[in-house]
């Protein structure tokens, strides 16, 4: 029996999902997408937050070019009817699904790997990480949602530069361009991601759902429609857990906020 292309482990409220093609630098093909789809659906059902990482020395080197070549040369039979791109479907289940995702990045985070990473809500990298969009040098175009997702993170000029010139961004440059929010020493990205996931899991599930599913949709709306959507969501009936958390704060029983740079 072949080894799983996606690993899955439930650690308390956290689903840990790993890309598991280290010999191929975790390149993504349709078999990977199929297993990732199943893992994402399982996490949505049984976890409160998920961590996405890559086994081996890289997070993900992007599209499996051997599979892309097979398609380009007609070796793969196209479907009889057009349907939604499988990457779009699965990455959207991550980006706008019911639970938050934290991505732990290291080594290559390029092409489709960067598209997958930007589907996560919080991104951590270690100092070995580098980011790129080499599609222009391969004669292809981004196809995993990067035109929407990456461009909204880094802006047009940065994305165009990366695609036109093949420029790679270091971990520090990735932080500067908002690809990642945290940079840690080599080998520590997954531990930091788990730490953040544990903190996120302490939020109410309803609040996390609004952040992952409502907030990005408000970003797509006009100013007035966005404020209206905010009003609707902020005035829905509060859950008993929310009421108890508000009571804890009002009565002085809630833990105080920690200053930046200090442990809670």
Catalytic residues: 115, 135
Helices (H), the chain: 30-46, 65-72, 86-95, 112-117, 135-138, 146-154, 156-165, 171-176, 189-200, 205-209, 215-219, 223-234, 240-250
Q: With the CA atoms of 50, 66, 112 and 81 taken in that order, what torsion angle do they form, in degrees rounded to the nearest 10?
A: -90
Q: How far apart are CA 256 and CA 64, in angstroms?
A: 48
- Helices 156-165 and 146-154 pack at an angle, to 10 degrees, of 120
Please provide residue 105's backbone torsions phi and psi, each rounded to the nearest 5 degrees: -115, 140
Closest CA relative to residue 117, chosen from 155, 87, 137: 87
Q: How far apart are CA 131 and CA 126, in angstroms?
A: 12
Closest CA relative to residue 143, chosen from 88, 216, 214: 88
Q: How far apart are CA 109 and CA 168, in angstroms?
A: 10
């Amino acid at each position: 029996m072949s080894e799983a292309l996606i690993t899955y482990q439930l650690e308390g409220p956290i689903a840990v999902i790993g890309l598991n093609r280290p010999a191929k630098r975790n390149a993504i093909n349709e078999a990977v997408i199929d297993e990732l789809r199943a893992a994402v659906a399982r996490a949505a059902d049984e976890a409160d937050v998920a961590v996405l990482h890559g086994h081996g020395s890289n997070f993900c080197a992007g599209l499996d070019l051997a599979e892309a070549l097979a398609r380009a040369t007609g070796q793969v039979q196209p479907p009889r009817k057009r349907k939604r791109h499988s990457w779009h479907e699965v990455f959207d289940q991550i980006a706008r699904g019911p639970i938050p995702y934290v991505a732990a990045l290291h080594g290559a985070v390029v092409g489709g790997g960067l598209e997958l990473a930007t589907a996560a809500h919080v991104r951590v990298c270690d100092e070995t990480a580098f980011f790129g969009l080499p599609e222009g040098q391969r004669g292809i175009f981004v196809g995993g949602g990067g035109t929407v997702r990456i461009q909204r993170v880094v802006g047009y000029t940065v994305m165009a530069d990366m695609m036109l010139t093949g420029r790679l961004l270091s971990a520090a440059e990735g932080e500067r361009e908002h690809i990642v929010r945290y940079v840690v020493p080599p080998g520590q990205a997954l531990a930091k991601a788990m730490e953040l996931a544990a903190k996120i899991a302490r939020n109410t599930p309803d609040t996390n759902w609004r952040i992952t599913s409502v907030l990005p949709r408000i970003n797509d709306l006009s100013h007035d429609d966005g404020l209206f959507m905010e009003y609707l969501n902020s005035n829905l009936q509060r859950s008993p857990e929310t009421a108890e958390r508000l009571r804890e704060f009002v009565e002085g029983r809630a833990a105080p906020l920690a200053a930046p740079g200090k442990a809670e």
